Amino acid sequence: MSSDLPAWIRNNFKCAVGSVSGSNYVFRSQNIPNNKSYYFGSNSPMYEALGAGQKSAGNNQISSQCLVYSIPSSPSEKLTNKTGTQSGYVSVGITVNGLAIFNNAAAPGDTLASEVQTFDQKNGHPQSSGVYHHHSQPKNVSEDDSKLIGVLLDGFPVYGLKCDNNTSTTADDDAPGVVGPSLDSNHGHIANTLLFPGGIYHYHYASDVTAGTNTLIGSQFHGTPGTVSN
């Protein structure tokens, strides 16, 4: 990570190349998980079996990508005509370990509530062109806790299930609404966090009506999204 990036990125993001370009943060990622997965294939040393009750996402396997994100460094709310997360984006954000975040929708003809059965043991899977991604909390990053999961394409961070209450102890971590305001329809609220003690809008891993399961974002971005290419 470039030295001119803010500490919350430098100290938390890895497995990607990060830099500053004008008013944007730029991330470049090959999008290869740093964890074992069923979707590396049984001949790979990075292979592990699916969890109990899970099933394969067809013949999909992880492959290297060239994802380039350009994300606003000073995000602000888009007050009208918010942009949908289901608007054809290659990815809607990047995790702290350099992997694609997908929206709250499944592949056409499927539902995310049923597609969760194809997640590997870290809650990820690849789509047909090999892009490994998370709709849900990456279990090697956050598991029902208050940890930073990544940043979304509009520049706002995304956290786990709980709020950290602007302290380093986990003893006072609790659900949004108990700590800070309740979440809006896109899983976000403004609250103080340890990384942003002055307060910032941020998303949480939360229940999603459209998906019928928990996801990392709802159907719209809070701010104006940047760009992503592959």
151-178: average pLDDT? 95
Q: What is the pLDDT of residues 34-69, one digit of tens each?
A: 999 999 999 999 999 999 999 999 999 999 999 999
**Mean of all residue pLDDT scores within the chain:** 96
Q: What is the pLDDT of residues 119-136, one digit of tens each?
A: 999 999 999 999 999 999
User: How confident is the model at residue 109, as a pLDDT?
Assistant: 72
Residue 103 makes CB contacts below 8 A (sequence gap 6+) with: 85, 86, 89, 92, 135, 215, 217, 219
Going 36 to 45 to 27 to 198, the CA torsion angle's sign is: positive
Judged against a pLDDT cut of 90, whether residue 87 lies above it is answered with: no
Judged against a pLDDT cut of 90, whether residue 2 lies above it is answered with: yes
Residue 198: both structure tokens together: 């002055």
Q: Where exactly are the structural domains of the chain? A: 1-161+216-230
152-171: average pLDDT? 96
Long-range contacts of 105-112 (CB under 8 A, 24+ apart): 105/210, 105/211, 106/211, 111/211, 111/212, 112/211, 112/212, 112/213, 112/215
Band the pLDDT of 108: cuts 50, 70, 90: confident
User: How confident is the model at residue 106, as a pLDDT?
Assistant: 84
pTM over 0.85: yes
Distance CA 81, CA 83 (A): 6
Residue with tokens 């941020």: 202
- Name beta bridge partners: 188: 203
User: How confident is the model at residue 62, as a pLDDT?
Assistant: 98
Distance CA 160, CA 205 (A): 5
Q: What are phi and psi of 85, to 5 degrees?
A: -80, -15
User: How confident is the model at residue 107, as a pLDDT?
Assistant: 77
Pairing of strands 148-152, 93-95: antiparallel
- What is the enclosing helix (H) or strand (E) of 148? strand 148-152
Can you say how many angstroms the Cα of residue 132 is from the centroid of all Cα atoms in its chain?
12
**Buried (b) or exposed (e) across 102-117, using 16+ Cβ within 10 A?**
bbbbbeeeeebeebbe
Q: What share of the chain is helix, strand, coil (3-state, %, to 5)?
A: 5, 25, 65
Distance CA 126, CA 24 (A): 27
DSSP string, 81-120: SPPBTTSS-S-SEEETTS-EE--S--STT--HHHHGGG--
